[in-house]
A and B are shown apart, each in its own frame.
Chain A
C-alpha cells in the first residue's frame, strides 16, 4: 500500500494472502467473545484478528512455544551471542519501556486489521483496544514521539488536530489516527478510519458481521487461536486486480491437478477464505479453509475408492497419501481444463497409450488403479549399485489395483515399454545403455531398469540416482525411482498386517531427514547459489546453513487436506519443533 505507514506494512507482512483457520474447537458453541469484527464496515474484504496476541505478549519469553523455539538448533544459533532476555532488554532500553508489556496492554482487549477499497484507493486500518484509556494514551504518545523524531517534526502530534463526540483525531499526511477511550485506530485513509469509528461507536450500523456469510465463519473461530483471518477472495481479486486470478487459473491446468492435487487447485478459486494460526506447546498450526470453490467434484477425493496400505518407517523423508484421479483428468480433460492446455494433455494421453499397447488409457487402463496413492521418499544407501556424487532420496508411489491379475501385468508391461523406449533413445544419443532386468524380491517378481555402470574414473553422474523399479504385491502396485527403495517396500508390504485407515490427503515431512539431505549436498547447494544469485561463497554458506538449521529445528511438517468436497476445502499445516527440551507428551 503506497500510503500505509511503515509499521502497517510490518503487520501486513504477517498476513499471507491466504490464511485459513481451523481450530481443534470446530464445533465449539457459536459466538465466543464478541471480537472486533463488528467495528469494521461491511465493505471490508480482508480482516485479520489477533485473538490471542495479547496473551502471547503477556507470556512473552515464558510462552511454551517461544521457549521451545529457542531450544531448537535455529533458536540456539540466533541467540548464541546473546540470550533472548538480553535482546529483549536491549529493545526495552531503546524504547524506554517494556516492549512486551506495552504490546500486551495495548492489545489487551483485541487487535484487528482490515482492508477495503480497491487498487486505486486501498483502505487499510489497524484497530487496537487497549486495557484502558490511560494505557492507550500513554502508548499512543510514545509512538507519536517516535514518529516525530523520525520525521523531524517535534511536537506536531502533541495535541489532537480535532476532537468530536468524545474522540480525538490526528492527521499524519493522508493517514488518520482516531482515539476513542481505550480504542485506537490507525488508518491510511480518512474515510475508512472514520467508518470504523462509526461502527464502533454506534450499534445498529451495518458492519462486517452483517456481510454475507461472515457471521457463521466468525462464530466458528477458536479462542485458542493466535490469529484469525477472513478474506473475500473473489472481491479482492476484482477490486485489487492482483495475481490472484493467475493463481486461480491453476485450477484449469492439468499439471497443477497432477502435481499439487485438485484440492489445492480448487482452494485457489474459493469465494471466501478463512485462516487461523495457533501455537501449541511446541507446534505451530496454520489452517486455511476455502468455501464455495470451483473445484470439479469428480476430481476431488472420494472416500469410496480403495486405499493402499499405510507404510511408515523411521527413515522416511516424506510419507503421504494423495488423491489423483488420472483417469478422470484424461477423460474429462477437455471439459475441465483451459483449451490452451488440452493439446498437451491429449498428447500425454496419446503417448501413454503407446506404452500401454495402444489401449485407451483414460477409459480402459487407469480406472483399475485407485486414485488414492501412497507417496514415500527415503534416503538411499546405494548398496545395489554405483553411488552418485549427488545422492538424492528415492521416491516411490504405491497404488491399489482392481482386478490385479489382469491390470497388474498391464502396468508392468507399460513400465517395460517405457524402459525400452528410453533405452532406444539413449542408444541413438550414444549414451549409456538403459537395461531392463527382471528379478525377485522374496517371491515377488520385480522389474528393474538401470544404466550400465560407468567406466572407472568417469565419475558417477546424477542419472545413477535413477534405477527405476516396478512390482506388484497382491493388489498393490509399487513404482519407484530406485530398486533399493522398491525392494524395501516389497518386504514391508509382505509383512504388513494393519490395513489402511483414514481416507484423506496428507503429507509428512521429516525435519532431520531433510537436514541430512541438505548436509549431504551442502557444497553443491552453496555453489549453485553463488552462481545463481551472484552472492559471495561466505554468504551462500550462511544461507544454506540457515536452511539446514531450519530443517533441523523442525521435527515434522505435516500437511493435511481433510476432504469435504468443493464447498469446503481445508488445508492444514502443522510444524512441530524439534526442541531439545521438548515436552515428552506430544501435542497433535
Chain B
C-alpha cells in the first residue's frame, strides 16, 4: 500500500515511539470515540512553528499608524494593497487565502504576544516558547509533552500521542516524561510495504496463542496494532489523493496531518515547522513568499478538514519565537525584536482580533512590547481546547467557543 511516486518531503523516516505500552496492552488506542470526559470526541491541536522570527508588523499591518510608515520607508506595505481586517489592521497582500478564512470567522489573531524580558537569541527564545518557562532552563521536557503526560494519567482516555511531521528530530515542546512522541518525514513512515497475496495470508494467521511467552505476545500485539494503524491511516490519507493540494511543502505536510487525524488512532498533538523567517536583508520578496505559503497552506488545510468532516475537533496554533523590530535596518530587512502576533485557526476558535494592538508610538527599545503573555494562550489551549488540567498560573484567554 505504499503510495507510489508521492514524494512530499525529504526521503526517509525516523521513528521513536507513538503509543505507550500501557495503551497498547489495553488496545484502547483504536477504539473510536472512547471518552471518559465531557468532550465529545478527541480534540487535536496542530502547532505550526514559524522559525526565525516572523515579522508580525508586516503580516498583521497597523495601517492607520503613521509611525509604521515612518519606521519602514521601503518595507512598509501600502494600505490599498492589504486585506483589511478591520480596526486598523490588514493582512499582507499575499495572504488573500487567510483573509478569506478570517472573513469566514475561522481565524483568531492575538496581538503582541511575548513574555517579560525578551530574549533575542533564536535558540533561547524558542526554548522558552517550547517549555513555557522564561526563567529556568529546562532542557528535557516541553509544554506539549507535559500536557500529554498529564492526559495519560486519566485511564479513561484513549492513549494519546504526538507526532512531529517534517523531520527526524523530536522538538523539545513534544518531549514528555512518560509520553512518547514520534517524528515522521512523510507518509511512507506509516505505510506498509506489501507483496501480492501477503496480506491475506498474514491476516489468516491471527488468533491468540495459548501459553505464549510474554515477549512473543507483546510483539504480536504490537504487530497487529501496527497493521490496523497503517490500514486506517492509508485509507484516510488516500482519500484526498485527488484533491488539489497546493504545491507548497507546508500544504503537503498539512495534508498528511489531516489524514493522520482522520485515521483516528488517538493523536492529540501534531507539530510542524516552516523555516526561513529570519529576514535580516531584502525582506520584501522572501517574507511575502513565506506568508503566501503559510496562508495558502492553512487555508487548504482548513478546507480539507471541513471536507473530511473533522474540522470540529482540530485547532491550529501558529507562533514564532519573536517578532521583529519596528524600524527597518540598512539592508531592507529587519532585526530581531520582541513581541509578535499569534494565530489560531479552526472552526471552534473565537474569531477576530484579540489582545492589545501594538502602538508604534509606544515602543520599548525600538520593539513592540508584549501585552499578552504567551502562556495565557497555552493555558486556554490546555483547559478550553484539550480539556486537560493546566499547570500554568495565568488566566486563560477566551479563545474558543
Chain A CB count within 10 A is highest, among B285, B289, B332, for B285
Nearest-Cβ distance from residue B297 to partner chain A, whole angstroms = 11
A358, B276: Cβ atoms closer than 8 Å: no
Chain B residues with CB under 8 Å of A349's CB are: 282, 285-286
Residue of chain B at shortest CB distance from A252: B247
Nearest-Cβ distance from residue B43 to partner chain A, whole angstroms = 31
Chain B residues with CB under 8 Å of A357's CB are: 331
B248, A346: Cβ atoms closer than 8 Å: no
A350 CB-CB contact with B under 8 Å: yes
Chain A residues with CB under 8 Å of B168's CB are: none
Residue of chain A at shortest CB distance from B274: A343
Chain B residues with CB under 8 Å of A360's CB are: 282, 332
**Interface readout for A329-366 with B: 1 if CB under 8 Å, 0 if not?**
00000100011101101110110011001111100000
Across the interface, A346 reaches (CB within 8 A) one of B246, B285, B329, B332, namely: B285
Chain A residues with CB under 8 Å of B332's CB are: 353, 358, 360
Chain B residues with CB under 8 Å of A340's CB are: 247-249
| A339 CA to B292 CA, complexed, in Å | 9
B286, A350: Cβ atoms closer than 8 Å: yes
Nearest-Cβ distance from residue A518 to partner chain B, whole angstroms = 28
A346, B331: Cβ atoms closer than 8 Å: no
B247, A358: Cβ atoms closer than 8 Å: no
Chain A residues with CB under 8 Å of B276's CB are: 343, 347
| A340 CA to B290 CA, complexed, in Å | 10
| A349 CA to B286 CA, complexed, in Å | 8
Chain A residues with CB under 8 Å of B330's CB are: 358
A339, B246: Cβ atoms closer than 8 Å: yes
| A475 CA to B129 CA, complexed, in Å | 52
B293 CB-CB contact with A under 8 Å: yes
Chain A residues with CB under 8 Å of B289's CB are: 334, 342-343, 345-346
B333 CB-CB contact with A under 8 Å: yes
B363 CB-CB contact with A under 8 Å: no
Residue of chain B at shortest CB distance from A348: B286
Residue of chain A at shortest CB distance from B282: A353
Nearest-Cβ distance from residue A251 to partner chain B, whole angstroms = 15
B35 CB-CB contact with A under 8 Å: no
Nearest-Cβ distance from residue A546 to partner chain B, whole angstroms = 29
A354, B247: Cβ atoms closer than 8 Å: no
Chain A residues with CB under 8 Å of B282's CB are: 349-350, 353, 358, 360-361
> Which residues of chain B from 283 to 333 have any CB-CB distance to chain A below 8 Å in the complex?
283, 285-286, 288-290, 292-293, 329-333
A346, B286: Cβ atoms closer than 8 Å: yes
Nearest-Cβ distance from residue A362 to partner chain B, whole angstroms = 9
**Tally of chain A residues near chain B (CB < 8 A):** 18
A350, B292: Cβ atoms closer than 8 Å: no
| A113 CA to B329 CA, complexed, in Å | 65
**Known contacts A338-B247, A350-B281, A350-B282: does B333 contact A343 (CB below 8 Å)?**
no
Main secondary structure, interface of B, reads: loop
B279 CB-CB contact with A under 8 Å: yes
| A75 CA to B330 CA, complexed, in Å | 64
Across the interface, B281 reaches (CB within 8 A) one of A339, A342, A343, A354, namely: A354
Nearest-Cβ distance from residue B82 to partner chain A, whole angstroms = 19
| A102 CA to B68 CA, complexed, in Å | 85
Nearest-Cβ distance from residue B332 to partner chain A, whole angstroms = 7
Residue of chain B at shortest CB distance from A354: B281
Across the interface, B283 reaches (CB within 8 A) one of A343, A345, A350, namely: A350
Across the interface, A354 reaches (CB within 8 A) one of B285, B288, B331, namely: B331
Nearest-Cβ distance from residue B160 to partner chain A, whole angstroms = 33
Nearest-Cβ distance from residue B248 to partner chain A, whole angstroms = 6
B72 CB-CB contact with A under 8 Å: no
Nearest-Cβ distance from residue B292 to partner chain A, whole angstroms = 7
**Known contacts A350-B282, A350-B283: does B290 contact A343 (CB below 8 Å)?**
yes
Residue of chain B at shortest CB distance from A347: B276
Chain A residues with CB under 8 Å of B333's CB are: 350, 353, 358
Residue of chain B at shortest CB distance from A243: B5
> Which residues of chain B from 226 to 256 have any CB-CB distance to chain A below 8 Å in the complex?
246-249
B280 CB-CB contact with A under 8 Å: yes
B286, A343: Cβ atoms closer than 8 Å: yes
| A218 CA to B249 CA, complexed, in Å | 44
| A359 CA to B235 CA, complexed, in Å | 50
| A334 CA to B333 CA, complexed, in Å | 19
Nearest-Cβ distance from residue B166 to partner chain A, whole angstroms = 15
A353, B281: Cβ atoms closer than 8 Å: yes
Nearest-Cβ distance from residue B74 to partner chain A, whole angstroms = 10
| A92 CA to B285 CA, complexed, in Å | 69
Chain B residues with CB under 8 Å of A343's CB are: 248, 276, 286, 289-290, 293
| A575 CA to B36 CA, complexed, in Å | 75
Nearest-Cβ distance from residue B25 to partner chain A, whole angstroms = 39
Chain A residues with CB under 8 Å of B249's CB are: 340
**Interface readout for B331-344 with A: 1 if CB under 8 Å, 0 if not?**
11100000000000
Nearest-Cβ distance from residue B299 to partner chain A, whole angstroms = 14
**Interface readout for A356-382 with B: 1 if CB under 8 Å, 0 if not?**
011111000000000000000000000
Nearest-Cβ distance from residue B54 to partner chain A, whole angstroms = 14
Nearest-Cβ distance from residue A244 to partner chain B, whole angstroms = 14
Chain A residues with CB under 8 Å of B285's CB are: 334, 346, 349-350
| A338 CA to B293 CA, complexed, in Å | 12
| A342 CA to B283 CA, complexed, in Å | 14
| A350 CA to B329 CA, complexed, in Å | 14
| A343 CA to B251 CA, complexed, in Å | 13
**Known contacts A340-B248, A343-B276, A346-B286: does B331 contact A358 (CB below 8 Å)?**
yes
| A221 CA to B290 CA, complexed, in Å | 50
| A262 CA to B276 CA, complexed, in Å | 27
Chain A residues with CB under 8 Å of B279's CB are: 350
| A412 CA to B98 CA, complexed, in Å | 43
| A118 CA to B86 CA, complexed, in Å | 55
Chain A residues with CB under 8 Å of B246's CB are: 339
Chain B CB count within 10 A is highest, among A340, A346, A350, A361, for A350
| A353 CA to B279 CA, complexed, in Å | 11
Nearest-Cβ distance from residue A155 to partner chain B, whole angstroms = 37
Known contacts A347-B276, A349-B282, A354-B280; can you find 20 more A-B pairs with CB under 8 A? A338-B247, A339-B247, A340-B247, A340-B249, A342-B289, A343-B293, A345-B289, A346-B288, A346-B289, A347-B286, A349-B285, A350-B281, A350-B285, A350-B286, A353-B282, A357-B331, A358-B282, A358-B330, A360-B282, A361-B282
A-B contact pairs, 17 of them (CB 8 A): A334-B289, A339-B292, A339-B293, A343-B248, A346-B288, A346-B290, A347-B286, A349-B285, A350-B279, A350-B283, A350-B333, A354-B281, A357-B331, A358-B330, A358-B332, A359-B331, A360-B282
7 shortest A-B CB distances, which residue pairs? A358-B331, A346-B286, A340-B247, A353-B281, A353-B282, A343-B289, A346-B289
